[in-house]
Amino acid sequence: MISEPILRGRAHRIVFIEKGVGNAKTFGQLAETLRGNHTWKKLLSVMVRACEHGLKTVCTNPLVCKRFRGEDSGLCEFKSPPYRVMFFECEREHGLIVITHCFKKKRGDTPPNEKKRARRLQATYYEWLDSQNDTT
């Protein structure tokens, strides 16, 4: 369900959900597609900064990170045009960022169906986490 940490820093560590939903790419699939590409290097740079300095520092720049508000609060996205990496901070484990999925954004705001997919994956993650705690 969840990968080993792909990045670790003083402030956060990042994992990703390994199972895709629909036509959305997992982070692992995006990494394979973009490896070595300028877009990939930019995304990785933003994520490394988030791990080292925290999301509060990185999300002050709306060109590289966005925190959603309202009913989608808790969801965020790393940006590197044209790709978006959806994630959330785990409420149960301090300093854990969970990447839900990635997609190619074509125009305008983040599509509602991508936010809905991230919410569904977030709920699935918490269900999985509960089942892991029940077995221990």
Each domain of the chain, given as residue ranges in start order, spans 7-135
Kindly report the CATH number that applies to the domain delimited by 7-135.
3.30.2310.20
CA distance 105 to 107: 6
Question: Given strand 7-8, what is the order of strands in its sheet?
Answer: 7-8, 13-16, 96-104, 83-89, 75-80, 65-67
Place of tokens 């933003």: 46
Residue pLDDT, tens place only, 49-83: 999 999 999 999 999 999 999 989 999 999 998 99
Question: 18 and 2 in contact (C-beta within 8 Å)?
Answer: yes
pTM of full prediction above 0.85 = yes
Q: In the Cβ-directed half-sphere of 119, how many Cα atoms lie within 13 Å?
A: 10
Residue pLDDT, tens place only, 4-46: 899 999 999 999 998 766 667 888 888 888 888 888 899 999 9
